Structure 1
Amino acid sequence: MKIGMISEHASPLATLGEADAGGQNVHVAALARRLAADGHTVDVYTRRDDPALPERVQLTDGVDVVHVDAGPPERLPKDDLLRWMHPFGDDLAARFGDPAVRPDVVHAHFWMSGLAALRATRRTDRGPEPPVPVVQTFHALGSVKRRYQGAADTSPTARIALEQTLCNDVDLVVATCHDEVRELQLLGATEDRVRVVPCGVDLGRFTPSTTRARATDDDGPVRLLSLGRLVERKDVGGVIEALARLGAQGQRVELLVAGGPPLGELERDPEVRRLRGLAERLGVGDRVRFLGAVSHDVVPDLLRSVDVVVCTPWYEPFGIVPLEAAACGLPVLASAVGGMLDTVVHDRTGLLVPPRDPAAVADALLRLSDRRFRLRLGAAARVRAERQYGWAAVARQTAEAYAEVVSSSSARAPLPQWPVTDAPLVSAGGTR
């Protein structure tokens, strides 16, 4: 099968830790590689953000990254890219006019990629041939982001209305977790046009420690790791408050915080300053260490150096870190939100707590001070990761979704052109 992936802001070639580079970049790169290993060919279309980039770069055998000219060839915040989705789609439409390039299916990653995909495949000047079917993965929903961030949400005001458009007009929505299905239904997606295919993890890179040095060290404190972007919604502050509660009970716990700017720039980061100040006020400053940005290459070793991974955000569309921790045989303490409701099984592979509840985090960490309990959870987490979240299984399920829409695709009516503006769009039907 010839697959066209669109990932307008998240290039699989990007360096993780940079602005807007995170889980989606990993997902697109790993999924494309595995699909190619299974015999498919994949072109990943992403926006050119550097004039020196070649048009086409081979990621691996069977996977090329294609840089599309849409807007200035410079790095822009993803929330500023909506205005360039028409030119992005027009560029793709021109490419897809060549039978040698035209894919059998297009998989759009993120909502703006979906807009470009529909413009490229449903243009009214495409002629009599049926349009290429479009599969959509949102990775995050504007409706959820607006609910939790309110006025701090920097998304374009049209985002939620356009996500509703996509739910109605793409051929299939691939959700990454069951909580997302409920959110999609609130946007108007029908049950028969949504499939759940989770994100995956590299089971060959993320492996348990062979020495179990941390697990057998009864003398040192329990070492926690928080890994990810340093933004308020990740609620690292709640973990610091939990540490203070545990300290008052005589429990020895330390927290490593990986993420944010490079180590030498931490002092200039407002979130780091806020968290450090909180730790000092609560008397646990000596037990919280900020590592700064870490390369994805060193993450497996970092995970294997700790006892427990904590992921307690207010909300999380999916969450790659809990999967990486599980693959390393570590228990995860996670908020009972989003994808972590699927990836963390309470009392079996980790512990789930309500979001924004430092007391519940402290109680869970007290349970995790039991080394044998940690080992049991971690072993079960690795087994579950092997059974459900390896990229081979995820790619197989994704290819099955592609085959479904390709086989059922017929001469769908071309879609009218909707305006791409930063303004609310209102419609009673499928045209917006």
Structure 2
Amino acid sequence: MKTGMRIGMISEHASPLATLGGADAGGQNVHVAALARRLAADGHTVDVYTRRDDPGLPGRVPLADGVDVVHVDAGPPEPLPKDDLLRWMPTFGDDLGARLTDPGVRPDVLHAHFWMSGLAALHATRRPGPDNEPRVPVVQTFHALGAVKRRHQGAADTSPAERLAVERMLCREADLVVATCRDEVAELRRMGLPEDRVRVVPCGVDLGAFTPGAPAADDEAGRPLRVLSLGRLVERKGVATAVEALARLAGRGGGPVELLVAGGPPPDRLGGDPEVLRLLNLARSLGVHDRVRFLGAVSHDEVPALLRSVDVVVCAPWYEPFGIVPLEAAACGRPVVASAVGGMLDTVVDGRTGLLVPPRDPDAVADALARLTDERYRLRLGAAARVRAEQRYGWASVARQTADAYAEVVGSTAAPGPHSTYGPHGTPSVVPTPLVAAGGTP
């Protein structure tokens, strides 16, 4: 494998410098930052290109030794919802393409994170350049697929109408797609991606920060079983399923159980949050409001201690492209009750490191929690989860696999590829496989 590569990462809306917890700041920000740091520790040089959302930001900000965050001017320098950024991707690509002509910063490979980053990468690399200059190969990671989002959210999906067609185009035009789980590979194959152009590299977890640690000081006998739901407070995350499961469990007798819900706005603004109010009303209607506690937003630095303070973590989304919380729980030695969807089909081994349940099935979640009231069984699953996290999901392993994927395409693109163009209203296309105008299909 070639070492010492110069790597350009594109994360158009998810800056590794962003404060987590905002509407568009979450797992992708953590993933890009951690992967870039680890690749640099392995001897590579990484530039992370992200959109400038504040006029006061410097053009280049060091993130770690060997990693810089580069702010690209694309649209107004202010926070914008990621679903509004499509129109600015040609501008992003123009800026990036101009940088690729500078030998001092020209990368060996571009790794695009999210579909709009892929558009910017193709626009930058599939256009005329100096004669006989090899184009920079593009590796694509979607992090989430529009087809899956639309299937589960329907009319509530706020993605641009072009998203599905653009993602299919990226499957054709990217040199390699790095998927984060086997379930995503199946989706990509249905979108037309050839089997020989996809590799599976999972997301990672910081094994030094997320550790089993000691039990909480108030871990006295007879206290309620502590169950945690952690993540953004949106309906599809399935917190309501956990609340309903709590009510069903209470109706069966047995020991006391309490549900902690972490996420959403800061604690002092919980009372005005529509999703919190919806869940509170649900808990009241089921008679378990005194067993549900809303913690509000929790910083990423606070998550390891929170995980160590509970007995079980419930992740019950309707769908989940990957799901980082099960990995963080596993690294902390806590078993997970998880929906059998997306990446959790890979990260949670049913009956060994946690329990898998059908999505939107509170009875199944209640049954799983009932099994986990057995302390010995719970501890056995948690210990196995930590071992598996160490074996498969540390960032050192994830970075090595990612670098191996880069090495497959570095040097394999001897001639320039097709040239990026943009149709009416900035709709992206790639000659000779144009994407039709907004709302169309390829």
**Counterpart-to-counterpart distance in 2, 1:127 and 1:235:** 54
Secondary structure, in 3 states, of the residue corresponding to 2:193? coil
Corresponding residue number in structure 2 for 1:280: 284
Tell me if 1:225 matches 2:234. Answer: no
Corresponding residue number in structure 2 for 1:181: 185
Contact map agreement 2:420 2:430 (CA 8 A) in 1: no
**Counterpart-to-counterpart distance in 1, 2:185 and 2:217:** 40
Q: Which structure 2 residues correspond to residues 32-431 of structure 1 after superposition, within 5 A?
A: 32-211=36-215, 217-251=220-254, 252-419=256-423, 421=425, 430-431=433-434
Q: CA 1:126/1:183 → structure 2, altered by over 3 Å: closer, same or farther?
A: farther
- TM superposition shift of 1:210: 2.5
Corresponding residue number in structure 2 for 1:2: 6
Give the % identical residues: 74
**What are the superposed Cα offsets for residues 306-329 of structure 1, whole Å, 9 maximum, x if unpaired?**
000000000000000000000000
**Counterpart-to-counterpart distance in 2, 1:290 and 1:336:** 25
**Counterpart-to-counterpart distance in 2, 1:262 and 1:211:** 26
What TM-score do you get using the length of structure 2 for normalisation? Answer: 0.95
Amino acid at match of 2:241: G
- TM superposition shift of 1:26: 0.2
Secondary structure, in 3 states, of the residue corresponding to 1:417? strand
**Counterpart-to-counterpart distance in 2, 1:428 and 1:112:** 18
**Counterpart-to-counterpart distance in 2, 1:341 and 1:421:** 40
Contact map agreement 1:158 1:422 (CA 8 A) in 2: no
- TM superposition shift of 1:209: 1.9
Q: CA 1:360/1:32 → structure 2, altered by over 3 Å: closer, same or farther?
A: same
Amino acid at match of 1:410: A
Amino acid at match of 1:87: T
Amino acid at match of 2:179: A
**Counterpart-to-counterpart distance in 2, 1:335 and 1:428:** 41
Amino acid at match of 2:160: P
**Counterpart-to-counterpart distance in 2, 1:260 and 1:387:** 32
Q: Aligned pairs, how many?
A: 430
**Counterpart-to-counterpart distance in 2, 1:322 and 1:191:** 28
Contact map agreement 1:85 1:420 (CA 8 A) in 2: no
**Counterpart-to-counterpart distance in 1, 2:99 and 2:382:** 48
**Counterpart-to-counterpart distance in 1, 2:431 and 2:86:** 23
Amino acid at match of 1:377: L
**Counterpart-to-counterpart distance in 1, 2:55 and 2:424:** 25
Secondary structure, in 3 states, of the residue corresponding to 1:107? strand
Structure 1: gaps spanning 5 or more residues = none
Amino acid at match of 1:273: L
**Counterpart-to-counterpart distance in 1, 2:425 and 2:387:** 47
- TM superposition shift of 1:126: 4.8
Amino acid at match of 1:361: V
**Counterpart-to-counterpart distance in 2, 1:416 and 1:283:** 58
- TM superposition shift of 1:416: 4.0
